[in-house]
Amino acid sequence: MKASEEEYLAALTAFSAQARRLWDVTYCGGEPPYDFHFKGTSNLYRYWDATRQVEFTFRMAERALTVHLREEIEYLRLFDEVCRRVEAHFDLRQNHLFTLVNAALERNGRLSKSIRRRFADKVEGAALDFVESVTREVLEEAAEEAGEAAAAP
């Protein structure tokens, strides 16, 4: 929804703009600081048309299921594959491995200098290098697979 903030605000405003016209709000400065007076009937709230809000929510749910969930599944597939390959060669603490793999995936197979410094006394340099190289391999393989899938009829 954050990426669709304008659409979200438009859906909210579709109702609130018409409802707002039926309220007199006066700043009085005391306690309470505002005086609210409703000029309409309760039908506005009882029978309001939520079509735009429901359609927006449906689009966001659909996007979550068809785009974001697929992206998350793909990320987890890559993450698991990198972890599996690293674990076949190095015995790292699980929390170290997970942090390193996440960091490498976020930077397309590169560990930042700060991550390397943070793990310098916890993980041997060869393992850090291996995490990078395996991550790049897995990302390249995934890109090839995606290219083949896109080219397939």
Write out the two tokens for 142: 């995934």
Rounded CA gap, 43 and 46, in Å? 5
Rounded CA gap, 105 and 100, in Å? 9
**Whole-number percent of the chain with pLDDT over 70:** 100
For the segment 112-138, the average pLDDT, to the nearest whole number, is 97
Reported pTM: 0.67
Identity of the residue numbered 16: S
Q: What is the pLDDT of residue 147?
A: 84
Cβ contacts of residue 126 below 8 Å, gap of 6+?
90
Per-residue pLDDT tens digits for 130-139: 999 999 999 9
Please give the DSSP secondary-structure letter assigned to residue 4: G
